[in-house]
């Protein structure tokens, strides 16, 4: 029987074509005597940063739209995606720029039918299986079964959303959805990666600590820019400053990076690979973005476990934490998005006040052949 072809919507600006980075380059060229504007200064699609209004004005210039550089790898990405799905370009441009946008898309992506180009701002009315967009406002209002955020500096402070860092991660995620009823269950009995995914307050860290006291389970040292909590020792994380983290990320130190509550987290392969090579299980509490990346790398040797705790209990746990009020607020507001991520995981494990039952269930899942 023919498999159902999933319907995938792709945003265009800063997903397929360089937009904010192109605008920043133009602005810096216009103002050579000023300190160059950095892409990291952009915190939203609005114009809050230096020359923000000037940046936003460029988006209504047909010549800007006509000359936007195509993102490296975008054409190969769309070609691969079109082989497994019906792809739609969903792009918001002013009316005077619509012709320029459509002409570029037809020219650069000939494998996508012209009728699959959707021009307009009402992305919230589209019913798709998967939607990839760098605008958090589009993701939060999307009717897609799986709205996916494309991580960029201006959405780095958001937590809980299903998100990816690269084209490869998104392709693998689409394959996961497409094959969700036919893929083999992960096998970690001879070593692998155990990703603990769940909402804030679902005891992921406590479960990870409990597992690592058992034979065959180890926790790789994850780097983070988050401040150390009073209850955490030296081995909880590798605590570093943001500038150092960004330098290491650009140098390729990490196989996956993500941002949670405004702080960066990154995992290095050199910390995971020795554990797996020993036939042990690397236990990593992680958000869904990082989990998808690791699943992409380790395939059937990676298990994504969603730790489900009742919402009221999760909120109580967040409120009791030694973190500032803004961080607590962000975590509570992201809960709905995080609970939705259970659909992406291999298995769901309920978590009560005593995490020992959850730990025992996970051990049974890992050690079964």
- Alpha-helical regions (H) of the chain: 20-30, 52-58, 62-67, 74-84, 98-108, 136-140, 167-178, 204-211, 242-250, 269-277, 288-298, 311-320, 325-333, 335-340, 356-367
pTM: 0.66
Determine the average pLDDT of the residues in 28-34: 94
Determine the average pLDDT of the residues in 78-105: 94
Of residues 179 and 314, more confidence is placed in 314
pLDDT at 103 over 90: yes
- For position 183, what pLDDT does the model report? 57
Instruction: Show the domains of the chain with their CATH numbers.
Output: 6-19+59-178 (3.40.50.1000), 192-367 (3.40.50.300)
Euclidean distance between CA atoms 340 and 146, whole angstroms: 9
In 3D space, the residue among 119, 210, 214, 128 whose CA is nearest the CA of residue 174 turns out to be 128
Which CA distances in Å does 261 have to 157, 161, 306, 328, 332?
Answer: 6, 11, 19, 9, 11
The SS3 of residue 13 is strand
Structure tokens at 164: 């990816």
Ordered strands of the 256-260 beta sheet: 238-239, 223-224, 263-267, 256-260
The number of angstroms, rounded, from the C-alpha of 276 to the middle of its chain's C-alpha atoms is 24
- Going by pLDDT thresholds of 50, 70 and 90, the confidence category of residue 62 is very high
Q: Chain-wide mean pLDDT for the chain?
A: 87
- Going by pLDDT thresholds of 50, 70 and 90, the confidence category of residue 231 is confident
Angle (CA) 88-92-96 rounded to 5° is 120
Question: Percentage of the chain surpassing pLDDT 90?
Answer: 47
Lowest mean pLDDT across 122-136, 202-216, 257-271? 257-271
Express each pLDDT in 213-227 by its tens digit: 999 999 998 899 988
Give the β-pairing of 223-224 and 263-267: antiparallel
pLDDT at 184 over 80: no
DSSP state of 111: T
Express each pLDDT in 128-147 by its tens digit: 889 999 988 888 788 888 89
- Going by pLDDT thresholds of 50, 70 and 90, the confidence category of residue 153 is confident
Element spanning 87, H or E: strand 85-91
């Amino acid at each position: 029987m023919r498999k159902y072809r999933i319907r995938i919507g792709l945003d265009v600006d800063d997903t397929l074509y360089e937009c904010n980075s192109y605008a920043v380059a133009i602005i810096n060229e216009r103002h050579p005597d000023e300190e160059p504007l950095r892409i990291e200064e952009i915190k939203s699609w609005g114009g809050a940063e230096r020359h923000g209004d000037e940046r936003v004005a460029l988006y209504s210039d047909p010549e800007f739209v006509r000359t936007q550089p195509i993102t490296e790898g975008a054409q190969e990405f769309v070609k691969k995606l079109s082989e497994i799905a019906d792809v739609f370009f969903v792009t918001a441009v002013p009316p005077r720029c619509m012709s320029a946008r459509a002409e570029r898309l037809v020219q650069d992506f000939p494998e996508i039918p012209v009728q699959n180009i959707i021009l307009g701002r009402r992305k919230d009315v589209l019913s798709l299986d998967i939607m990839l967009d760098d605008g958090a406002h589009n993701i939060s209002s999307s009717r897609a079964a799986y709205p996916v955020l494309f991580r960029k500096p201006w959405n780095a402070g958001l937590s809980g959303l299903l998100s990816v860092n690269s084209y490869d991660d998104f392709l693998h995620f689409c394959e996961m959805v497409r094959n969700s009823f036919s893929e083999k269950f992960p096998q970690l009995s001879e070593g692998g990666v155990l990703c603990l995914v769940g909402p804030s307050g679902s005891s992921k860290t406590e479960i990870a600590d409990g597992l690592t006291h058992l034979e065959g389970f180890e926790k790789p040292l994850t780097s983070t820019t988050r401040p150390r909590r009073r209850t955490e020792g030296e081995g909880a994380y590798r605590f570093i400053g943001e500038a150092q983290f960004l330098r290491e990320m650009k140098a390729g130190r990490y196989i996956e990076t993500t941002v949670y509550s405004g702080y960066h987290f990154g995992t290095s392969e050199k910390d995971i690979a020795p554990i797996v090579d020993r036939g042990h299980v690397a236990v990593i509490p992680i958000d869904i973005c990082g989990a998808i990346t690791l699943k992409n790398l380790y395939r059937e040797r990676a298990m994504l476990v969603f730790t489900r705790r009742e919402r009221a209990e999760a909120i109580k746990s967040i409120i009791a934490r030694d973190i500032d009020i803004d961080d607590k607020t962000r975590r509570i507001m992201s809960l709905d998005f995080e609970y939705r991520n259970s659909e992406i995981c291999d298995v769901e494990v309920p978590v009560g006040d005593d995490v020992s039952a959850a730990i025992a269930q996970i051990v049974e899942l890992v050690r079964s052949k």
